[in-house]
Chain A
Amino acid sequence: MIEHFPVLIIAIGLFGASFTPIVGLIRKELCSPWASFITLLQLIISIFLLYRVIAAGNMSYWLGGWEPPWGIEYAVDILNAFVLVIVAGVCFSVSIYGRKSLALEVPGKELPLYTLYILLTTGMLGIAVTGDIFNLYVFLEIGSLAAYALIAIGDRHSLMASFNYMIMGTISASFILLGIGYLYVMTGTLNMADLSALLPSLYGRPVILVALALLVVGLSIKTALFPLHTWLPDAYTHAPSAISAMLSGTFTKVGIYALIRVMFTVISPAYVIETVPVMSILSWVAAAGIIAGSVLAIAQYDIKRMLAYSSLSQIGYIVLGISMANKLAMTGGILHILSHSLMKVGLFMVAGAIIYRTGIRNIYQLRGMGKKMPLTMAAFVIGALSMIGIPPTIGFASKFYLAWGALYAGEWVFVAVILLSSLLTAVYFWRIFENVYFGVHEGIKKEEAPLSMLLPVLAFAFLVLLFGMFASIPIGIIEQWVTGVLPGED
């Protein structure tokens, strides 16, 4: 049974998405539990897959029994499985959280909403599971189209935000498609493993460089790497809160995953590090993004918008870690995929819970929220402290590894950027703490978010602490993968 899991995770999603309208026709209220059920199945499968690849090595599934490189191959190694678990975990938790939140923010839209929700989840899982680069593009488009539509369901500005995103996303998609096309023309194959075997003999050719450039730029738009981020703040601000939470934890992350795949599996690390300075360009761009994202976040007063800009800076951390391309920094970068998902999804969910109870989005109007929603705000504090990198939270662990990796590489500027930017993070979160917990606020009644929203919020805060305390566990898993990709270092 377990050997069919790689395709099952997709099949369940596609089946679930197509049946959502039918479920919805029976009773609208069933759509949300249905989505939770489907994503829960996907989560369970992902966890099994992760367990399996750690215990027994990589998996390969040939779709329809066609042997690669002719057929489509689903190849699962530790990195895939790691991303699968994050994506499915976030999507499942948010689907529970979203039942109340979405019903209030976008009432009556359950049918399209949850269909798209499952479709988006499946698209992202597909990106992570596939071993075929064209198949990756297809899933990227499935996910993106679903995301455009989901964002458009939000408030009255969301149409414009979605449209913006669509334009950027389409540009990005054409870049990616062109890049894949060039690779296909040169090698005649679309299978990633096959590509990586055939490409080294072609490294001298400029066309490979062009393909690489197109892929990197295209994927950078999808991951919202500064300065190609312009779609992200509006999209996250105006999308329904639950959707913002889900997207922040998953969609940019699978973009980064695809970036890692292209650079370290399809094209060999030696090429992107030594032959052409892709890595060093990316790392400087990412460092600029870290600072720019934080500074822009400080300038915001809408809580969701602030969190969106903060994502920008955190994506910079991840990309910086990966592009320094040594074991430590890479481990830190990949660990930060997990950290950022946990903290940012939690924070967005808190923002959504505040909006659910009060409708307030302006951080200067949050006075007394600490009394009104004590547990929710406690979760917010934990998430924010993790963003700043206070031990013992997961954000501290990844920051430690990133700084260590930068030191190992002798990149002093990056050491400074990684460490000092946590102060900027402290600035924009502390404004909220000041407003939430201090100042005169009499006669505030305690009114927590409903349990179905509170539980996911608390679960994420708990995970931030748990993985922070036992960061050795995810680090051990990641190191296992990184060692395979970047051999030859001590």
Chain B
Amino acid sequence: MGNRSFARGGLMESVSSFSPALAVLASLIGAIMVLIFGRLPNIREGFSVGAGIVKFGIVASMIPVVMDGKLVELKLWELLPGLPVMFRVDAFGLLFGLVASFLWIFTTLYSIGYMRALKEHAQTRYFFCFAIAISSAIGVAFSANLFTLFIFYEILTISTYPLVVHIETPEAMRAGRKYLLYLLTAGVFFLFSIVAVYHYTGTTDFAPGGILEGKGIPENMLKLLFITFMIGSAKAAFMPLHSWLPTAMIAPTPVSALLHAVAVVKVGVFTATRIILYVFGVDLMNETGLALAMAYFAAFTIIVASIFALTHDNLKKRLAYSTISQLSYIILGAALLTPAGITGGMLHILNHAFTKITLFFCAGAIIVASGKEKISEMNGIGKQMPLTMLAFTLGALGMAGIPATAGFISKLYLLIGTVEALQIPLLLVLLASTLLNVAYFFPVIINAFFKRPEKEQSFKEAPLFMLVPLILTGLISILLGILPDAPLAIVRIAVANLMGGT
């Protein structure tokens, strides 16, 4: 009996490099500079943007190595005996790292516009926490083992709390408590799972074939572990552990955009996917029947969250429920355990990120320009803010998965995945969800473009700092639908490594 990871993808060659650590450090140093230059807003924001560009550059510099079929590895030191802090960049981690660091640049620019337009207080704290949060997201993406991942996972929870409660009203403080209650509790369950995995297997390293198989762990224990792991990934906001996400929408919109469409929730699904595919492994998930249970669980979330989204008039809340629904696409894809399903799930991390961040950027632009948060009040704003609403339309189309948008590609793979797994009910769920997507996004577009406002409106487009990022992300989300080859190539390496062959 050989090691499974050898049998599957063959022995992966690894390159030792400081790049993963530098990528994490870039924004940490950025955070410190933000703190130091807190009184000089222009220099402070300069460091934020600069750190973002440097960070993305470092992450991108690892593309050739990974595309070459190698891993980038860096073992730092053993924090606890036998438990090293270690980075290992594989295709899946790189994909997520690229998305998060790339979108950080846009979000920083957008944040500058948003925070200055609204003359928000405590901007230093805001940019400081933001930089730490993105560092931890990248740390999660590049973690080589559960232990390292957990460290960044917890830092992310703590560092995003001040962002959630930014406006500091009693309502925001209550929302913050709820946020912590959910995520710290999740952390506790996660910690338990890690301790148990380490106890049973003596390792927490991710491996493409999983690490739990053949270790003589009783099946009930495995099931319990899976449940505690999934509770631990509550950042992925699947039902019934979702309700922190809509509550956290009280945060400033750029926070909602990056953290609650990209960083925090994506860290959640990324973690869940890592656990499903790299800790439990395809075979074990199949044998125990956990995969099927998880898939239907995700399907339930997809439908119910979409229905919830319909009932909300507040645009950000509606987007939040849409996020909950879309995140479960990714988990569904991983839980299908077929090549197409996993491809679809991993691609959706990228595609959902670009489409959803566009939608959030638009929601924020509307707030800044007009102060409107409710969909029913947005009649006719397409006339005042044509570019914003155009970008919104692009995002909504992508979300619904209309052909030639980013969402279409991932949804197509997911659909093929359900067929491969012979799960026709899940196929129907995906199709139904598409209809629901149309049902909750199109009223916004119709209101904006085709309905007359009740009274004359005089506001204009949001400031350029906000407008440019949202147009760019909107365009990219279409571009990803027309030219999906580059991300697909990365995902294919990850899937090939998981499944062996091809």
Residues of A participating in the B interface, judged by any CB pair closer than 8 Å: 385, 388-392, 397, 399-401, 403-404, 407-408, 415, 419-420, 422-423, 426, 430, 434, 437-440, 468-472, 475-476, 479
Contacts and interface: CB of A to CB of B under 8 A. Distances in A.
B184 A419 contact: no
Contacts of B102: none
Nearest to B177: A430
Given A403-B195, A407-B195, A470-B77, A391 B154 contact: yes
Nearest to A416: B192
B154 A419 contact: no
B188 A437 contact: no
B79 A392 contact: yes
Contacts of B184: 388, 422-423, 426
Interface in B169-205: 173, 176-177, 180-181, 184-185, 187-188, 191-192, 195-196, 198-199
A388 B161 CA distance: 15
Contact of B168 (A388, A399, A438, A475): A438
Contact of A391 (B155, B165, B185, B198): B155
A450 to B, nearest CB: 23
15 contacts: A390-B158, A391-B155, A392-B151, A400-B80, A403-B195, A415-B192, A419-B191, A420-B188, A423-B181, A438-B173, A469-B77, A470-B79, A472-B77, A475-B80, A475-B81
Contacts of B188: 419-420, 422-423
B79 A469 contact: yes
B150 interface: yes
Contacts of A400: 80, 191, 195
A80 B197 CA distance: 34
A401 B194 CA distance: 12
Contacts of B454: none
Contacts of A389: 191
B79 A472 contact: yes
B24 to A, nearest CB: 13
Interface of B: 77-81, 150-151, 154-155, 158, 162, 165, 168, 173, 176-177, 180-181, 184-185, 187-188, 191-192, 195-196, 198-199
A248 to B, nearest CB: 25
Contact of A476 (B81, B151, B181, B195): B81
Contact of B185 (A399, A404, A423, A468): A423
A415 B162 CA distance: 30
Contact of B192 (A385, A403, A440, A471): A403
A391 B151 contact: yes
A389 B80 CA distance: 14
B165 A438 contact: yes
A434 B191 contact: no
Contacts of A399: 191
Given A407-B195, A419-B191, A390 B79 contact: no
Given A407-B199, A430-B177, A440-B168, A397 B79 contact: yes
A408 B168 contact: no
A439 B169 CA distance: 7
Contacts of B196: 407
Nearest to A402: B195
B272 to A, nearest CB: 20
Given A391-B79, A419-B192, 10 more contacts: A390-B154, A390-B187, A392-B79, A400-B80, A403-B195, A404-B195, A407-B196, A408-B199, A423-B188, A479-B81
Contact of A404 (B151, B165, B198): B198
B177 A391 contact: no
Contacts of B173: 434, 438
Nearest to B198: A404
Looking at chain A's contact residues, the main secondary structure is helix
Contacts of A472: 77-81
Nearest to A331: B81
A446 to B, nearest CB: 12
Nearest to B181: A423
Q: Which 9 A-B pairs have the closest CB atoms?
A: A391-B151, A438-B168, A419-B188, A404-B195, A403-B195, A472-B78, A390-B154, A472-B81, A407-B199
B151 A385 contact: no
A476 B165 CA distance: 41
Nearest to A374: B35
A391 B196 CA distance: 17
Interface centre among A388, A391, A392 (most CB of B within 10 A): A391
Contacts of A392: 79, 151
B155 A390 contact: yes
Nearest to B162: A437
A471 B195 contact: no
A166 to B, nearest CB: 40
A450 B158 CA distance: 29
Contacts of A391: 79, 150-151, 154-155
A44 to B, nearest CB: 28
B5 to A, nearest CB: 25
Contacts of B150: 391
B195 A385 contact: no
A321 B196 CA distance: 17
Given A404-B198, A419-B191, A385 B158 contact: yes
Given A397-B79, A469-B79, A470-B77, A404 B191 contact: no
A251 to B, nearest CB: 29
A391 B80 CA distance: 11
B180 A397 contact: no
Contacts of A470: 77, 79
A404 B181 CA distance: 24
Nearest to B121: A440
A238 to B, nearest CB: 32
Nearest to A441: B168
Contacts of B198: 404
B151 A403 contact: no
A397 B78 CA distance: 12
Contacts of A422: 184, 188
Contact of A430 (B79, B154, B155, B180): B180
Nearest to A406: B195
Contact of A439 (B80, B81, B151, B168): B168
A389 B198 CA distance: 18
Contacts of A415: 192
B244 to A, nearest CB: 15
A392 B77 CA distance: 13
A469 B83 CA distance: 12
B207 to A, nearest CB: 21
A397 B168 contact: no
Counting chain A CB atoms within 10 Å of each CB, the highest count among B173, B176, B191 belongs to: B191
Nearest to A404: B195
A382 to B, nearest CB: 11
Contact of A426 (B155, B165, B180): B180
Contacts of A408: 199
Count chain B CB atoms within 10 A of each CB in A388, A420, A438, A440 and give the residue with the most. A438
A439 B121 CA distance: 11
Contacts of A423: 181, 184-185, 188
A426 B155 CA distance: 14
Nearest to B168: A438
A404 B158 contact: no
A440 B155 CA distance: 26
Contacts of A390: 154-155, 158, 187
A96 B196 CA distance: 43
A439 B173 CA distance: 9
A419 B186 CA distance: 11
A430 B176 CA distance: 10
A424 B192 CA distance: 17
Contacts of B154: 390-391
Nearest to B153: A391
A478 to B, nearest CB: 11
Nearest to A397: B80
